[in-house]
Amino acid sequence: MKYKIAITGGLIGVLLAAALLLFMGATKASHAQKVLTGVKFMGVDLSGLNREAGLEKLIATEKELLSTPVYLEYQGNAWQVLPASLGASLDREKMMDNALQVGKEGSLLENWRTRKQVQEEGVEIPPVIKVDRTVFSGKLDELTAELTVRPENAGISITKNNAVEIIPGREGVLVDQDKALKSLVSVLEDYRVTPRVELTMKKVPPEITTEEVQGYGLDTLLASYTTRFNAAVTDRAFNVRVAASALDDLLVPPGTEVSFNKVVGPRSSEAGYKNAKVIVNNELVDGLGGGVCQVSTTLYNVVLLSGLDVVSRKNHSLPVAYAPAGRDATVAYDNIDFVFKNSTDRHIYIKTYVHGSYITVKVYGNSSYKKNISINTRTVETFDYKVVYEDDPTLPSGAQKVKRKGVKGSRVTADRIVLENGVTRVESLPPSLYHPLNELILMGKGNGSVPVPVQPPGGQHPAAGPDDNSEKPVEAGNGQAGGDTAESGTPTPPGGIIPPGTAGSEM
């Protein structure tokens, strides 16, 4: 009998334990999405609230907490500012997570004890503060502007005589924002005390130091090249300035390749470009970025004269008036690029100048890489153009008028001649093939019987396009025929006036 009673008692104990576990599990499930009784925040009772209701209640409490000004202090200076203007707020979602987890994180027995204690004594949920760092930094900079000294990067200055000067960097003195941020969070979390933040200052070095710039090795002008454009064609001239400004102050580390298209970017109206004449399939049409090719061509020539490596270059399909045949470089965004490489072991520095009707590109580098360089070009083959007639009802019947003068095509080779340490080295450059530009003559189909001859007979014909023939290189004072020296920095003119433009490029 005693044996049977023992078994029965054991079963009863097991059953009671199981019942307790079931009860506690059911209690936990019933409270899983609600805050336990006795949970508060700043004296505000959150008991029995679900997440949505609790978040609503925390909004009002947050306004009360953040309505107390914070005092920022530094050596007798004090600024009174609301926490919200410093980017501070309650992380209400995190706080509700914490409130809902009270009594639900340990074992069943531990949770039962916690719930009992919370119901009897209550528990305060501490604030969880989050700060928008951008807002905080901006407001702190604004308030302490008179105390701070901004660091200044070292830089490069070019004199009128092309001397390279280094602008020293300067150390700054700024508020230690990391410490200030931690202090702000701390005082807001301890909401029972007056929120005071003692600011500290720290020295901040410039991002680019004087020693770093000195290490670039920039001490001389390697080469300069200038081309001329027609400033009266205002939209094209504007595009030249926009593209040139993108190249200005370009610093190129040793061994780095430079893509013209990547540096200058898309030729779009958003980038500031305007419509100007471009060549598409040997025809002049309006297009965004007309004139950009003159910048890439000027850059190409100064790269050649600086002794740098050319990675990728393509000539225009037609000769251009602002550079000798064989020495142009066409570009078209996402299609044709001009790429060169800083083949020295020092930095190079590019400056661009647009003044009046001229664009100049200069390359500065280390004097150990300065060489005597000239460029020679040779026309090895020419191609005749065709004469094309086009009806024009505005001309009298039988009359003829030249709309566009034809230009012969050609095949041109080029060499870079480098004189260094008394030794001459000849480097072959990419060849150029230019298609002929057909001559276009208008034929009169209108009323009238007075014949009008082709004008002017045997004389000069108007050049193709609105840019006329004024866009030719600046003549060198001491350059060689068909080439330039790095010292002169100015190109000799081509052997004749050629209408500007290129098929599918930006002229």
Q: Three-class SS of residue 351?
A: strand
For residue 24, pLDDT over 60 is answered with no
Q: How confident is the model at residue 274 (pLDDT cuts 50, 70, 90)?
A: confident
Q: In angstroms, rounded to a whole number, what is the distance separating the alpha carbons of residues 343 and 338?
A: 16
Q: Give the pLDDT band of residue 492 (cuts 50, 70, 90).
A: very low
Task: With a cut of 60, say whether residue 474 has pLDDT above it.
Answer: no
Nearest to 222 by CA among 305, 345, 343, 310: 305
Q: Which structure tokens are listed for 82?
A: 């609301």
Residue 432 pLDDT exceeds 70: yes
Location of structure tokens 């060489």? 371
Phi first, then psi: what are they for 321, rounded to 5°? Answer: -85, -15
**pLDDT recorded at residue 120:** 65
| Helix locations, 32-91, DSSP H | 51-65
Distance, in Å, from the CA atom of 132 to the CA atom of 152, rounded to the nearest integer, reads 26
pTM for this structure? 0.69
Q: Give the model's pLDDT for residue 284.
A: 61
Radius of gyration of the chain (CA): 39
Q: Residue 496 has what pLDDT?
A: 30
**Cα separation, 353 vs 340, whole angstroms:** 20
- The yes-or-no verdict on residue 418 having pLDDT over 60 is yes
Residue 481 pLDDT: 30
DSSP assignments along 275-331, one per residue: EEEEEETTEEEEEETTTHHHHHHHHHHHHHHHTPEEEE----SS--TTS-TT-----
Q: Give residue 476's identity as a one-letter amino acid code.
A: A
CA-wise closest residue to 353 among 261, 474, 451, 224: 224
- What number is the average pLDDT over the span 247-252? 98
Mean pLDDT, rounded, for 132-156: 95
Taking only the tens place, the pLDDT of each residue in 321-330 is 899 999 999 9
Integer Cα distance of 145 and 151 in angstroms = 13
Q: What does the pLDDT read at residue 295?
A: 97
- Tens digits of residue pLDDT in 452-471: 444 443 333 333 333 333 34
Mean pLDDT of the residues in the chain: 82
**How would residue 73 be classed by pLDDT, with cut points 50, 70 and 90?**
very high
- Tell me the C-alpha distance between 65 and 89, whole Å: 9
Give yes or no for residue 206 having a pLDDT over 90: yes
* 491 close to 302: Cβ distance less than 8 angstroms: no
Q: Check residues 295 and 189 and name the one with the higher pLDDT.
A: 295
- Torsion, Cα of 452, 454, 457, 459 (10° steps): 130
Tell me if 247 sits within 8 A of 264, measured CB to CB: yes
Work out the average pLDDT over 420-439.
93
Report residue 215: phi and psi, to 5°: -70, -15
Q: How far is CA 284 from CA 235, 439, 503, in A?
A: 15, 14, 9
- What confidence score (pLDDT) does residue 267 get? 86
